[in-house]
């Protein structure tokens, strides 16, 4: 049976579940089981939820915790990519889950700051201002990361396309 | 398809894709783990194996040799509140004793430093406290180990299979398996043979483990061989940063030391003492080794 604290926690968490889950999946791809990351964040959040006022703040808090956990994990783990290569031409016509998997994989090739900014902006739906506040950097800096991140993402996609063509024609 | 459009298409898919993990599973996790079930499991496990708890804070050994919850039944929710006073009393007694003892030579300090630092770093980051060195007390029973008299109780390996109650099987059964491994590995001639034996055994254990234990309870189960003479067996349990099981081997590959380390989080919940917040290490000595 739920007690009050559990109910309060779920009340705060439910509105942000979807976005937080997507964030964790995008950020952990190939490096860390996303459910583990979510669970770790829940444990911290459950402990400190008294200090959190609303769901928007709660989401930022969860993301902040997950960033710290990921930073720790990246020092400890040598990630093994779940997917080594995918065929982008097939992805274009694939169903949604394949596209998402491909995107996560491409994002995993990006430098951390660019990846973080892109995930928060494009997938979680944070505004530039919100991202800047969460990451404690300037808005100009976030804009730069987004721009460079997209450019890098394009390069990754292009590179994969060429690799696949090379494999097929070679 | 133009690359820019293709990327937008990918992001659209990511935004619109339904969640994989359901809210129900989150709720279940909160109810079973964040709310304290795994704390109970750990407490029962500690009780079952009568661990020596070695608590250190600010680099000073403050307590040791606490037997948890002696005489109670392993129920799903042990009466933490009634046993707390008992534990605290012991804690104060041993704290006073430990405070007067010099910190002495300790083989655990030879443990792979990277492991210690990682754990401590994680704790500090989570708790937001200053990073301070952590030391571990040493049981006096082994000749090569210590002069310390801080640990006053030694414990026997419990090799008789434990019959855990329903809902408490996960950790206990793992520990039981673990001890069986140790028993079986005793006669191994070399460190290499031991490594191979252990690795193979743990691989199979990992499989059994995952099939029998709820994912919500146990997150990770890995073996890390830092060098020929140390085998670190790490188990991450939800609700705790890390529960580590370690073997130290001598140059012949014989096990000379077996010890465990447990993150401080649950100890804080049990309120042993404010001093426990930073770091708690659990050590278990197998006398026969």
Following DSSP, what letter does each residue of B161-224 receive, concatenated?
A: PP-PPTT-HHHHHHHHHHHHHHHHHTT--SHHHHHHHHHHHHHHHHHHHHHHS-TTTEEEEEEE
Task: Please give chain B's pLDDT, 289 residues, in tens.
Answer: 455 688 898 899 999 888 888 888 888 777 766 554 333 333 343 333 333 322 222 211 111 222 222 222 222 223 332 223 333 333 333 334 433 433 333 333 233 222 222 333 333 333 333 333 332 323 323 333 222 222 222 222 222 233 333 333 344 444 444 444 444 444 444 444 544 554 554 444 443 333 333 322 333 333 333 443 444 444 444 444 444 444 444 444 444 444 445 443 333 332 222 322 223 333 333 322 2
Task: Give me the sign of the Cα torsion angle B74, B75, B77, B78.
Answer: negative
Q: For B34-47, write each residue's pLDDT tens digit.
A: 554 333 333 343 33
Segments in B1-158 forming alpha helices (H): 3-16, 23-29, 37-49, 80-99, 113-127
Spatial distance between the Cα atoms of B46 and B235, rounded to a whole number of angstroms:
15
Chain A contact present for B30, CB below 8 A: yes
A-proximal residues of B, 113-132, CB under 8 Å: 118, 121-122, 125-126
Mark yes or no for CB contact B14/A100 under 8 Å.
yes
Spatial distance between the Cα atoms of B195 and B285, rounded to a whole number of angstroms:
20
Q: Searching chain A, which residue's CA lies closest to the CA of residue B114?
A: A76
B-chain CB neighbours of A105 within 8 Å are none
Mark yes or no for CB contact B17/A125 under 8 Å.
no
CA atoms within 13 A on the CB side of B100: 5
B-chain CB neighbours of A44 within 8 Å are 126
Give me the residue from A22, A72, A104 closest to B121, CB to CB: A72
Give me the residue from B20, B27, B122 closest to A25, CB to CB: B20
Q: ipTM score here?
A: 0.84
Best residue of B17, B215, B265 to probe chain A, by most A CBs closer than 10 Å: B17
Predicted pLDDT of residue A118: 95
Q: Searching chain A, which residue's CA lies closest to the CA of residue B14?
A: A100
Best residue of A50, A96, A118, A152 to probe chain B, by most B CBs closer than 10 Å: A96
Cα B122–Cα B60–Cα B87 angle in degrees, nearest 5:
85
Give me the residue from B9, B34, B125 closest to A43, CB to CB: B34
Separation in Å, CA of A38 to nearest CA in chain B: 9
Chunk chain A into consecutive blocks of 10 residues (it has 170) and report each block's average pLDDT, rounded to whole numbers.
75 91 87 77 80 81 87 54 54 75 88 94 93 91 94 87 55
A:B CB pairs within 8 Å: 103
Of B112, B134, B119, the C-alpha closest to B231 is B112
Give me the residue from A25, A43, A68 closest to B238, CB to CB: A43
Chain B contact present for A38, CB below 8 A: yes
**Distance spanning both ends of chain A, measured CA to CA:** 62
Predicted pLDDT of residue A91: 67
Mark yes or no for CB contact A157/B3 under 8 Å.
yes
């Amino acid at each position: 049976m739920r007690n009050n604290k559990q109910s309060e926690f779920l009340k705060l968490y439910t509105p942000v579940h979807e976005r937080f889950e997507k964030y964790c999946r995008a950020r952990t791809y190939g490096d860390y089981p996303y459910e583990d990351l979510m669970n770790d964040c829940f444990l911290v959040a459950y402990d400190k939820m008294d200090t959190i006022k609303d769901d928007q703040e709660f989401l930022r808090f969860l993301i902040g915790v997950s960033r710290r956990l990921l930073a720790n994990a990246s020092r400890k783990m040598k990630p093994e990519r779940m997917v080594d290569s995918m065929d982008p031409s097939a992805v274009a016509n694939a169903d949604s889950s394949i596209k998402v998997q491909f995107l996560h994989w491409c994002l995993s090739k990006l430098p951390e700051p660019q990846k973080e900014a892109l995930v928060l902006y494009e997938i979680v739906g944070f505004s530039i201002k919100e991202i800047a506040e969460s990451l404690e950097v300037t808005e100009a800096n976030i804009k730069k990361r987004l721009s460079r991140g997209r450019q890098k993402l394009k390069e990754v996609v292009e590179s994969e396309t060429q690799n696949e063509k090379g494999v097929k024609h070679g | 398809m133009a690359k820019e459009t293709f990327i937008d298409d990918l992001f659209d898919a990511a935004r619109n894709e339904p969640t994989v993990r359901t809210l129900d599973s989150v709720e279940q996790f909160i109810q079973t783990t964040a709310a304290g079930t795994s704390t109970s499991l750990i407490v029962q496990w500690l009780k079952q194996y009568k661990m020596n708890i070695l608590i250190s804070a600010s680099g000073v050994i403050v307590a040791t040799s606490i037997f948890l919850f002696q005489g109670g039944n392993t129920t799903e929710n042990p009466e933490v509140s009634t046993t707390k006073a008992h534990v605290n009393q012991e804690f104060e007694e041993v704290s006073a004793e430990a405070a007067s003892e010099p910190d002495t030579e300790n083989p655990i300090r030879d443990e792979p430093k990277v492991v210690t630092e990682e754990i401590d770093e994680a704790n500090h980051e989570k708790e937001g406290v200053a990073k301070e060195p952590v030391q571990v007390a040493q049981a006096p029973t082994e000749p090569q180990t210590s002069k310390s008299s801080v640990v006053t109780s030694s414990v026997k390996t419990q090799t008789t299979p434990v019959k855990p109650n329903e809902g408490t099987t996960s950790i206990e059964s793992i520990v039981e398996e673990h001890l069986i491994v140790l028993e079986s590995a005793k006669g191994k001639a070399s460190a290499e043979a031991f490594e191979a034996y252990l690795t193979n055994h743990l691989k199979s254990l990992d499989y059994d483990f995952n099939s029998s234990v709820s994912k919500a309870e146990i997150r990770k189960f890995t073996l890390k061989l830092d060098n020929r003479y140390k085998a670190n067996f790490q188990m991450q349990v939800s609700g705790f940063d890390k529960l580590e099981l370690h073997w130290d081997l001598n140059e012949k590959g014989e096990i000379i030391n077996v010890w465990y380390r447990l993150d401080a989080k649950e100890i804080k919940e049990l309120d042993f003492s404010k001093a426990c917040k930073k770091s708690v290490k659990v050590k278990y000595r197998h006398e026969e080794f």
